Amino acid sequence: MRRGDQRFAARDPVPLRRDRLSEPEIEVARRERREPRFTQWDYLHLAGLRRGLLAGFRVVSVQDGPVLDLYCGTKPYLELIPWNPVWGADIDLHFGRADVLGTLPLPFRDAAFEVVLCSQALHLVNDPVATVDEIGRVLAPGGYAIVTIPHLFLAEGDFERHWSRGDLGDLFAGWRDVRIGGVDGPGAALAFVLGRLAMLVARRLRLPRWVSTSIFVGINAVCTLLDVLLAPIKQRWPHSLVLIARPTSYQSSSA
């Protein structure tokens, strides 16, 4: 896989100027991701990610950390990660929980971590090839990368990269023990789209909270049933993807 591949081509960085969220906002964001509730518009999305990450943690055979939570945001999964210590790295202090700030190259020595977690961020970075190179560099030879990305639908904007299971496998070509699994199915993906739209409309119209949560509960219930009905085929169209892989000796994937 070459750096010039348009699926993974580097982009010019765009400076971000984001104020730090307040402590109440940070804690709400952490709780919603760590312990999502059926009344949230993104419940199925976040509940699926939690299940996928916990399943990934169970198959990773390392005794302890350190762990790097790369592009950590609010570090919502800190209490769920079974190894210590956990270092959070991010590009700024917007989400208020990063231990280290920096871009590429990552500000860590070679083979510093037993596990690198990168959840819902790799598809947003300016240079995914260099990012995967850096993940491989900072991982110990027996360590693991755990990566999640959206699959069916995107939400952030035009700068998101839309990758298939095969694309993700190509990005980690040369790694060993690569496993890529799906999380949930089209029902969860539909709930994400409809829930996001309903959330934006509710904000715009300033609907009472009970009205908006009733809408979210209805969407979540219908789309949960849809995924139950589609259970035999839903792995063909998973809502999100979870990758677990182990590095070989460090070698640039752009070669």
The verdict on residue 253 lying in a domain is no
**Burial of 217 (C-beta count, 10 Å sphere; 0-12/13-18/19+):** middle
The verdict on residue 73 lying in a domain is yes
Q: Please list, residue by residue across 242-255, b when 16 or more beta carbons sit within 10 angstroms of its beta carbon and e when fewer do.
A: bbbbbbeeeeebbe
The verdict on residue 15 lying in a domain is no
What does the alpha-carbon distance between residue 7 and residue 219 come to, in Å, rounded to a whole number? 33
The verdict on residue 198 lying in a domain is no
The verdict on residue 193 lying in a domain is no
Identity of residue 22: S
Residue 120: closest CA among 252, 255, 243: 243
The verdict on residue 190 lying in a domain is no
Cβ contacts of residue 243 below 8 Å, gap of 6+? Answer: 145, 146, 147, 148, 149, 168, 172, 178, 179, 180
Distance of alpha carbon 194 from its chain centroid, rounded? 20
What does the alpha-carbon distance between residue 229 and residue 95 come to, in Å, rounded to a whole number? 38
Helix H, strand E, coil C: the string for 182-220 is EECCHHHHHHHHHHHHHHHHHHHHCCCHHHHHHHHHHHH
Q: Rounded to whole angstroms, what are the CA distances from 11 to 72, 124, 127, 151, 172?
A: 21, 11, 6, 21, 19
Looking at the structure of the chain, the number of domains it has is 1
Give me the tens of pLDDT residue by residue for the chain, a chain 255 residues long. Answer: 555 688 899 998 888 889 999 999 999 999 999 999 999 999 999 999 999 999 999 999 999 999 999 999 999 999 999 999 999 999 999 999 999 999 999 999 999 999 999 999 999 999 999 999 999 999 999 999 999 999 988 776 778 999 999 999 999 999 999 999 999 999 999 999 999 999 999 999 999 999 999 999 999 999 999 999 998 888 889 999 999 999 986 544 444
The verdict on residue 229 lying in a domain is no
Q: What is the reported pTM?
A: 0.93
Pairing mode of beta strands 240-246, 139-150: antiparallel
Tokens of 227: 């995924």
What does the alpha-carbon distance between residue 251 and residue 137 come to, in Å, rounded to a whole number? 8
Predicted local confidence at residue 69, as pLDDT: 98
List beta partners, residue 237. none
CATH classification at residue 149: 3.40.50.150
The verdict on residue 27 lying in a domain is yes
What does the alpha-carbon distance between residue 69 and residue 66 come to, in Å, rounded to a whole number? 10
Domain that holds residue 164: 23-35+44-184+239-246
